[in-house]
């Protein structure tokens, strides 16, 4: 690659049980870096509770110029004012999301098992592919790095590389991925989410400076 693509940040929340208690942490994270998107995940199984959380937090995200996505639930995304969905695995949910949300809303896809599956998913009308898992213990960092580099070098469709450790961010920023996802661990950082996001942003800035 000859031209450096400076990635923006994509925040993955922990399962949120209460909007009021989580809002300060979310606001702090949004203000600490160039955040393009927030993937909001829920603790309550009840749809009304989820809708209430989404409606409370969506303005915080959208007023910052970022997009708010939900996992898998296309109907809730429409009803609660989200900007789209992140589909966690290819399959029927992806087809349903594309049918119901495009082109007005965002549809992204994760759970990519291999390169063949990535190329198949990329042929659909998705807005991005995500490499790496939402939660720790899945795809190893080396694999995320390799897949993001491969995809970014060959394909034009944006990709997201997930970092579960802030030490991974600078290398991922050099892959050509358009977005670096910071996993929910940043919200448990003992310093608070803002310093964690600022550290990730500084790593991206270092990657840009050395490009």
How far does the chain reach from its first CA to its final CA, in angstroms? Answer: 10
As a whole number, mean pLDDT of residues 107-136 equals 94
Owner of token pair 């949004």: 30
Res. 174: pLDDT tops 90: yes
Give the global pTM: 0.96
Contacts of 123 (CB under 8 A, 6+ apart): none
Instruction: Give all domains of the chain, ordered by start, each with its CATH number.
Output: 11-189 (3.20.20.70)
In this predicted structure, the answer to whether residue 1 has a pLDDT above a threshold of 70 is no
Q: What is the pLDDT of residues 3-39, one digit of tens each?
A: 888 999 999 999 999 999 999 999 999 999 999 999 9
Q: Write b or e for each residue in 73-98: b if 16 or more Cβ atoms lie within 10 A of its Cβ, otherwise e.
A: bbebbbebebbbbbbbebeebbebbb
pLDDT digits (tens, 9 = 90+) for 177-204: 999 999 999 999 999 999 999 999 999 9
pLDDT at residue 95, as a whole number: 93
CA distance 144 to 194: 25
> Cα 177 to the chain's mean position, in Å?
12
Residue 72: pLDDT over 80: yes
Q: Which of 78, 85, 76, 75 is nearest to 37 (CA)?
A: 85
């Amino acid at each position: 690659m000859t031209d450096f693509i400076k990635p923006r940040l994509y925040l993955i929340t922990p399962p949120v049980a209460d909007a009021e208690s989580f809002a300060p942490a979310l606001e702090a994270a949004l203000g600490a870096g160039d955040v393009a998107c927030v993937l909001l995940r829920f603790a309550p199984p009840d749809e009304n509770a989820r809708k209430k959380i989404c409606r409370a937090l969506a303005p915080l995200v959208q007023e910052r110029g970022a997009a708010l996505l939900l996992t898998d639930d296309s109907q809730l995304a429409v009803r609660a004012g989200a900007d789209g969905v992140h589909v966690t695995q290819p399959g029927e949910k992806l087809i349903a999301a594309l049918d119901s949300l495009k082109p007005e809303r965002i549809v992204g896809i994760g759970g990519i098992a291999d390169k063949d599956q990535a190329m198949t998913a990329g042929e659909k009308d998705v807005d991005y592919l995500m490499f790496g898992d939402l939660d720790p213990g899945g795809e190893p960092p080396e694999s995320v790095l390799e897949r993001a580099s491969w995809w970014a070098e060959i394909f034009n469709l944006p990709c997201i590389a997930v970092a579960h450790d802030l030490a991974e961010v600078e290398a991922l920023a050099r892959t050509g991925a358009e977005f670096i996802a910071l996993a929910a661990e940043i919200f448990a950082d003992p310093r608070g989410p803002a310093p964690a996001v600022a550290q990730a942003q500084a790593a991206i800035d270092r990657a840009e400076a050395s490009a």
